[in-house]
Chains A and B, each alone.
Chain A
């Protein structure tokens, strides 16, 4: 199926493509950096187009002229414009082919677990190469070193560097450096000398015209462990992380050694071995230092620039990923520009910037960066292996010498093993946890050679290195042998040796906390024991990072956030997702209560609903209104059916876009189905929660009233804050509203999700104490009369005047019965963090009754409440379909479908504008005052989040008894 396509292409493309590749062929000193383009593949396309502009562009211009002149005579309806689109077309087809190949391989699960993908890709390349050879008699395609070094390799290295687990990497930096430098030198020299010895001994044929220098050169390029191959194979093997990071780190960092050795030997070969002076050797050593340290520095400088730039992208989130790609790529190119070690540069740029960049850019940008990098790296890897296969099928390359090939194979394997054993012996004297024999076996066996060696050997100048063809052939054999044979057998080997595998376990919050504590303990103990060990320096570095670097490179709002808090949030979200993934179905039928409920149940009920409503300006309550609102149960049956259907029909994506903006992603076409399901489930739970919670708000309102003057005071203090936030929001809310309205009319199923929630719940409920509110809720969210949003209508529709008093009790009791407490708690935590995530700025789900009520006070906020509820109503139903956010969207925060991207930055601003309120806030009673008295000074943003997720400080065990009354 693939081959015919290719054939067609090739015969059509023919020699032109070959010319193109030739035109693009680079020379060792790399060409000046081309215009930095995103993504290897596209840039490759572009570069090649530029490479041969003379062919195409004039032609197309000519054609257009011809078109113009022919216009009178006869207009051709369809024209064959092959030459115009040829190059990008071919490249795109190659990419497509490679992707298809991947799909095919992954059809069979059993097959892919045995055979690594890289092997299959090489085999496919061999087949394709054979086909091409037969059809066109000469091999137009090969792995072009320029393409490889400028586009394919950076995508892989960039991905590897950026997502390198930094802590693990630096924990093992010693061994990595040792293997990378000493190990590679050892391999290179031993292989080179021994091959020369074999030549002298006559094992290698006389036809191989190579002296000592040539063999050393060959040894240098063949001895370096290849990052591409290592990644491809080890990712499937899943050895434990220490082992992986050592082998992989070595493969990245040995680049400097390889580059220097390669260049030094080339110059020696060109000058002739006789003319090499002693000074040249020292120059070689100096060059190594410059290349490696220089490369690292370039990388770190770019990392700093990148991190610094992303500090200021708040308003232009959309280009954040671009910055990441560009600067990481520029780090690579700049290092190449000065002939420093580009891989080192890129790796360290990635490692260095990751922490700050990830903190600075938005969640969506993070996802974009991640997926784009992974996609590019994956496709680059695929192309590399396919082209390796194709390149092998080329008669002109085959200069076979059995002696050379077998000697090389034996030597690289033997010396690798010897080197590993010797170095490990030395290293183990300094290691806390020694690398045992099994680790050493895997490390020796995992020394895979790959495309870097091949590209380097192809780059050799045939005039100076007479034996180039032999070397190329040998390299191909070595690469194939290591990738295919060792790659194929390493998995069984690892299994057989019982190498500890890596677990894909994510740390729990306990582990996060305690491991941090361990770090501090170790640093302190080292200090006490007077050792300036690793922990000592790491601690120093962290201090420095915290005090200077993070301050410089992170946004203020981000810098203030604690890592621990971030970790906590992450864990919560993960849990929420997994709860829904695993137990979603079970839980949906059960009623969930959130931790906030517990605290509220104890408050008596408020009688004056209107008053409450008036004061509760925030967006949360909008949503509540929606649910609990009005009677008019006529449409109940109808809407029920409707909701049921629409809720069950799967809507993979939103169908209409209310507006288009290049700068903000208003709608999320990329939303994935899992997300949608997730959101739907979340929403249903939230609705459950809200309907009960509303009561509680009322209750705690009354409670507050009773508490009297001090509360009033706080309220007064709180008002300005509400004002601010509302005013800030105002301009945003308006467009959203209109959008919502629009959506409302065109898209009834938007609301469906809400509807289904109620339907599901209704059956158990109706017989109980809540017969009225449920239909009412259905009614409201269904009825368009709630729109157009006006404060009065929203208020009017509020239904909770009916006997809602008993409701909370019933709900919470039910919840306890149905859901095991632990699950409930996990859920509670998760859901609150999710809310805070989706709507960080607005205290969407304040758990502390007092605080939450306070936050809703304020006159102008009332209007807001009136409008937002409506949007909330719409969005409650529509978020999953209309919102591209891919996160759970709490109505209050999102403010309505499609608005999130715009609103987010602004609300962040808001937060920063209201630091006052955090000071005014009622002091949380019990937690012991921290040693640093500065705890009072809170980041408003953090504070707001805390409103969302934090339990009331006063009642510590409250979450234990969510249903307590």
Chain B
């Protein structure tokens, strides 16, 4: 248990490597321990890695419209196992941004929970084919997941069109990541994409 914890502590804290001097060190350790036990309870195969089935066993995810997309986000491309490190890496996107991180957000290595990375996480949920663009089809798929069955394809299509038009600045009929950032620049992403891991 020792090694993955240290590793993931770095992962978790990527950006604040001086975790030792951090007064919140205890919190960080607590968070990691907690998540580690969660990881193990999810890991039914007991092989130190989670498969998609492990995630799908979480009942709430089954009713989450974006559940499958989010599960996919945990798995690096082409793999169907995620170890604790990868698990933490993904969850680290959702750590709240702390003041001392904000100030040095322009470092070479941007912390995972930076605004841009949070947005990138959301962006990847839409961008299935990983071409760094949300096409109309991709948007439609996500919209369909989120709205359920009571809305017609035409309506959805017009919403999607409108959405793309609104965001699209270079006229390629899709939303690139920079356009995605731009269109959400007024949203308090730091708050709306953060979770308190302490409880």
Contact = CB atoms under 8 A, between A and B. Distances in A.
A813 interface: no
Given A432-B196, A522-B193, A524-B67, A942 B155 contact: yes
Interface string B58-74: 10110111110010001
A927 interface: yes
Contacts of A950: 152-155, 157-158
A518 B192 contact: yes
Nearest to B189: A518
Interface stretch (B4-12, B14-22, B103-111, B179-187): B179-187
Contacts of A938: 150, 152
A562 B150 contact: yes
B167 to A, nearest CB: 5
B87 to A, nearest CB: 8
Nearest to B66: A520
A528 interface: yes
B46 to A, nearest CB: 17
B112 to A, nearest CB: 13
Nearest to A523: B64
Interface in A658-675: none
B19 to A, nearest CB: 19
Contact of A530 (B41, B121, B149): B41
Contacts of A516: 146
A949 B160 CA distance: 12
Interface stretch (A148-156, A506-514, A866-874): A506-514
Nearest to B91: A529
Contact of A518 (B38, B122, B155): B122
Contact of B153 (A533, A540, A822, A953): A953
A536 B63 CA distance: 12
A840 to B, nearest CB: 12
Contact of B149 (A517, A568, A927, A935): A935
B78 interface: no
A701 interface: no
A511 B66 contact: no
B186 A511 contact: yes
Nearest to B41: A530
Interface string A132-159: 0000000000000000000000000000
Q: Which of B171, B183, B196 has the most chain A CB within a 10 Å cutoff?
A: B196
Chain A interface size, under 10 / 10 to 19 / 20 to 34 / 35 or more:
35 or more
Contacts of A431: 196
Contacts of B184: 510-511, 514
B153 A505 contact: no
A930 B152 CA distance: 11
If over half of B's interface residues share one DSSP class (helix, strand or loop), that class is named, otherwise mixed; here it is: helix
B195 A531 contact: yes
Contacts of B44: none
Q: Which of A572, A939, A946 has the most chain B CB within a 10 Å cutoff?
A: A946
B84 interface: no
Interface in B25-76: 34-35, 38, 41-42, 55, 58, 60-61, 63-67, 70, 74
A539 interface: yes
B63 A521 contact: no
B125 A928 contact: no
Contacts of A522: 94, 192-193, 195
A516 B34 CA distance: 28
A946 B61 contact: no
Contacts of B66: 517, 520-521, 524
Contacts of A273: none
A546 to B, nearest CB: 8
A832 B161 CA distance: 13
A509 B156 CA distance: 12
A517 B94 CA distance: 14
A719 interface: no
A931 B195 contact: no
A432 B144 contact: no
B149 A524 contact: no
Contact of B148 (A513, A932, A946): A932
A245 B4 CA distance: 43
B157 A960 contact: no
A461 interface: no
A523 B193 CA distance: 10
Contacts of A848: 154
Interface residues of B, number: 68
B159 to A, nearest CB: 5
A934 B153 CA distance: 12
Interface string A305-327: 00000000000000000000000
B140 interface: yes
If over half of A's interface residues share one DSSP class (helix, strand or loop), that class is named, otherwise mixed; here it is: helix
Contacts of A472: none
B195 A932 contact: no
Interface string A924-965: 101110111011011100110111011101001101100000
Given A432-B194, A521-B70, A533-B195, A527 B143 contact: no
B130 interface: no
A565 to B, nearest CB: 5
A522 B157 CA distance: 26
Nearest to B149: A934
B65 to A, nearest CB: 6
Interface in A828-855: 829, 832, 848
A595 to B, nearest CB: 8
Q: Which of A529, A530, A571 has the most chain B CB within a 10 Å cutoff?
A: A529
A531 B154 contact: no
A530 B137 CA distance: 33
Given A522-B195, A528-B70, A529-B91, A510 B167 contact: yes
A509 B197 contact: no
Contacts of B58: 527-528
A935 B143 contact: no
Q: Which of B65, B143, B195 has the most chain A CB within a 10 Å cutoff?
A: B195
A513 B163 contact: yes
A485 B151 CA distance: 54
A430 interface: yes
A536 B152 contact: no
A826 interface: yes
Given A517-B122, A934-B149, A572 B162 contact: yes
A433 interface: yes
B80 interface: no
A525 interface: yes
A522 B145 CA distance: 16
Nearest to A938: B152
A562 B137 contact: no
A956 B173 contact: yes
A514 B189 CA distance: 10
B164 to A, nearest CB: 9
B166 A520 contact: no
Given A564-B147, A951-B161, 11 more contacts: A520-B146, A525-B91, A530-B42, A535-B195, A565-B147, A565-B159, A829-B158, A943-B154, A946-B154, A950-B158, A956-B161
Interface of A: 430-433, 503, 505, 508-511, 513-518, 520-533, 535-536, 539-540, 543, 559-562, 564-565, 568, 571-572, 822, 825-826, 829, 832, 848, 918, 924, 926-928, 930-932, 934-935, 937-939, 942-943, 945-947, 949-951, 953, 956-957, 959-960
24 contacts: A432-B195, A509-B163, A510-B163, A511-B183, A514-B122, A517-B146, A528-B55, A529-B91, A530-B41, A533-B195, A543-B63, A561-B151, A562-B147, A562-B150, A564-B143, A568-B158, A918-B152, A927-B140, A927-B156, A942-B150, A943-B154, A949-B154, A950-B155, A953-B157
Return the 10 tightest CB-CB contacts between A and B, nearest first: A950-B154, A946-B154, A930-B144, A530-B38, A527-B60, A934-B149, A562-B151, A524-B70, A946-B155, A520-B66
Interface of B: 34-35, 38, 41-42, 55, 58, 60-61, 63-67, 70, 74, 91, 94, 96, 121-122, 125-126, 136-137, 140-159, 161-163, 165-167, 171, 173, 183-184, 186-187, 189-199
